[in-house]
């Protein structure tokens, strides 16, 4: 591997690509430290230091790659673009025009990409308002102290538009940087931007383990972090690379005057087709009830307001209490609900992805068949059954990775080690899956570049 790295840097073109990628990531990280116009940064930083474990802030910080902690112009990262891409992906089998474009090859894909870019701008504007309001709810409604000029009163329109346009421009610049990395650098640009943001937050999050007062708790937390990270990365690699190979047989074909003999191949079905998307979906759903409940809280103390206020107050605190000792029922319900959501979304998203591939139709058109399975409807049912069987393992795996902080909190209570759950918060499950997936993909692209020049690649 060291020889391959040296070989990559001795090739001028490949060295230029690697340095270009690193340079663009550095530019993104510099932009991620420019605060949004109109924010009271001192008040915001004081709030985030006091509530370092706030679930809403942690979720938004993951989506932005750490830019929310600085309330940066990059606070939304590239996720409005990813949201637009997912929406287009889900609408393609439903809308005939999109399905027709998808079947037109490179030209159709370019048109779909252009539609995705157009959709990103209004989504970014809406998400800018939603994200600021979301932060306001996590502040308990005290948004005025953080964004004193944000609102839709007559004297606030211009500062509000400035803030929204700055955040939207930050997203589009991030997407542009990602596209430049894809075209001129190494790896998939948008994924590398998210990867860079997550990796940049590892050291600050790791420093939390060293702030524990108890020496024994600090030592056990650091050891638990090392063991947990190594074990999780190992399992993620095994599951991400795991696949079920369906054998496919092609009959003898006649093309003009040539006769092509039948051949055997296989269809690779991945154990985890959905990647980290189900965890993102589940996190969005988990934080939605507390946000809605905040609208109906009339008395935060719970002394007045009746049943509606009590119910809204309970829902607004759902997931906020991360201690199994203080609220065992709420703690259990939160993590169980989160686990079931991840599992459910994994099956849903995998079904959508596999349906879009149209494997049975493609096989039948090319004269292929799965041995022992009749082409057509029987092949479609067989492929779906196999996919759902292997997805069960992938879904349970994603669910366990997602609830690692809760598992470590329970282990910490059983072993009487305070702060042990922080070992699973240095880099959470979704972040770890992104990091491992991006590293594997980038290594493969670098290997392909080396093999083109007859050098030994990274992956044996």
Question: Which 3 state secondary structure label does DSSP give 51?
Answer: coil
Task: Write out the DSSP string of 316-352.
Answer: HTTTT---TTT-HHHHHHHHHHHHHHHHHHHHHHHHH
The yes/no answer on whether domain 1-201+432-460 falls in CATH 1.10.3370.10 is: yes
pTM of the model: 0.75
Domain boundaries, the chain: 1-201+432-460
User: What pLDDT does residue 415 have?
Assistant: 79
Q: How far apart are alpha carbons 341 and 343 in whole angstroms?
A: 5
Strand partners of residue 255: 258
Among residues 399, 369, 396, which one has the least CA distance to residue 383? 369
Residue labelled with tokens 């953080």:
146
Query: Are the C-beta atoms of 413 and 324 separated by less than 8 Å?
Result: yes
13, 29, 435, 440: which is closest to 185 by C-alpha?
Answer: 13
- pLDDT by 10-residue block (mean), the chain, 460 residues: 71 85 89 85 73 58 67 83 82 82 81 90 85 66 70 82 91 91 85 81 78 78 85 85 85 65 78 79 71 65 68 66 69 85 88 80 80 84 88 88 82 77 71 81 79 58
Cβ atoms of residues 410 and 177 within 8 Å: no
How far apart, in whole angstroms, are the C-alpha atoms of residue 395 and residue 398?
Answer: 5
How many alpha carbons fall within 13 Å on the CB side of residue 83? 21
d(CA 233, CA 237): 6
Helix (H) / strand (E) element for 267: namely strand 264-270
Contact 410, 196 (CB under 8 A): no
pLDDT at 168 (0 to 100): 92
Instruction: List all residues 6 or more positions away from 388 whose beta carbon is below 8 Å from its beta carbon.
Output: 347, 350, 351
Helix/strand/coil for 269: strand
Q: Centre a 10 Å sphere on the Cβ of residue 174 and count the other Cβ atoms it contains.
A: 29
pLDDT of residue 121: 92
């Amino acid at each position: 591997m060291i020889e391959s790295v040296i070989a990559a840097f001795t090739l001028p073109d490949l060295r230029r690509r690697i340095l270009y990628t690193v340079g663009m990531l550095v530019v993104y990280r510099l932009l991620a430290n420019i605060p949004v116009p109109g924010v009271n940064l001192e008040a915001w930083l004081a709030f985030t230091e006091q509530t370092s474990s706030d679930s809403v802030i942690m979720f938004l910080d993951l989506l932005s790659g750490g830019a929310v902690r600085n309330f940066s112009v990059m606070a939304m990262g590239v996720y409005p673009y990813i949201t637009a891409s997912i929406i287009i992906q889900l609408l393609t089998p439903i809308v005939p025009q999109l399905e027709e474009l998808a079947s037109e090859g490179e030209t159709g894909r370019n048109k779909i990409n252009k539609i995705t870019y157009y959709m990103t701008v209004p989504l970014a504007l809406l998400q800018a308002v939603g994200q600021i309001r979301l932060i306001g709810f996590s502040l308990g409604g005290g948004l005025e102290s953080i964004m004193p000029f944000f609102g839709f009163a007559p004297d606030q329109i211009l500062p509000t538009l400035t803030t929204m346009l700055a955040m939207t421009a930050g997203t589009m610049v991030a997407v542009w940087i990602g596209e430049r990395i894809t075209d001129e650098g190494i790896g998939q640009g948008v994924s590398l931007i998210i990867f860079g943001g997550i990796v940049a937050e590892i050291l600050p999050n790791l420093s939390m383990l060293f702030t524990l007062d108890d020496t024994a708790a600090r030592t056990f937390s650091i050891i638990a972090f090392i063991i947990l990270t190594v074990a999780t990365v190992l399992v993620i690699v095994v599951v991400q690379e795991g696949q079920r190979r369906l054998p496919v047989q092609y009959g003898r074909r006649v093309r003009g005057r040539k006769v092509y003999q039948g051949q055997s191949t296989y269809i690779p079905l991945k154990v985890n087709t959905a990647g980290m998307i189900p965890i993102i979906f589940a996190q969005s759903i988990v934080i939605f009830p507390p946000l809605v409940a905040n609208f109906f809280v009339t008395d935060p103390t719970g002394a007045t307001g009746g049943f509606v206020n009590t119910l809204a107050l309970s829902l607004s605190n759902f997931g906020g209490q991360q201690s199994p000792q203080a609220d065992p029922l709420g703690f259990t319900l939160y993590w169980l609900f989160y686990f079931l959501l991840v599992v459910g979304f994994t099956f849903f998203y995998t079904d959508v992805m596999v349906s879009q591939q149209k494997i049975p139709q493609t096989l039948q058109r090319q004269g292929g068949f799965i041995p022992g399975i009749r082409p057509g409807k029987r092949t479609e049912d067989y492929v779906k059954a196999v996919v759902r069987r292997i997805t069960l393992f992938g879904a349970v795996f994603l669910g366990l990775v997602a609830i690692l902080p809760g598992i470590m909190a329970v282990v910490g209570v059983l072993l009487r080690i305070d702060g042990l759950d922080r070992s699973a918060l240095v880099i959470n499950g979704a972040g770890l899956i992104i990091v491992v997936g991006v590293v594997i993909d980038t290594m493969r692209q670098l290997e392909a570049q080396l093999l083109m020049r007859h050098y030994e690649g990274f992956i044996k």
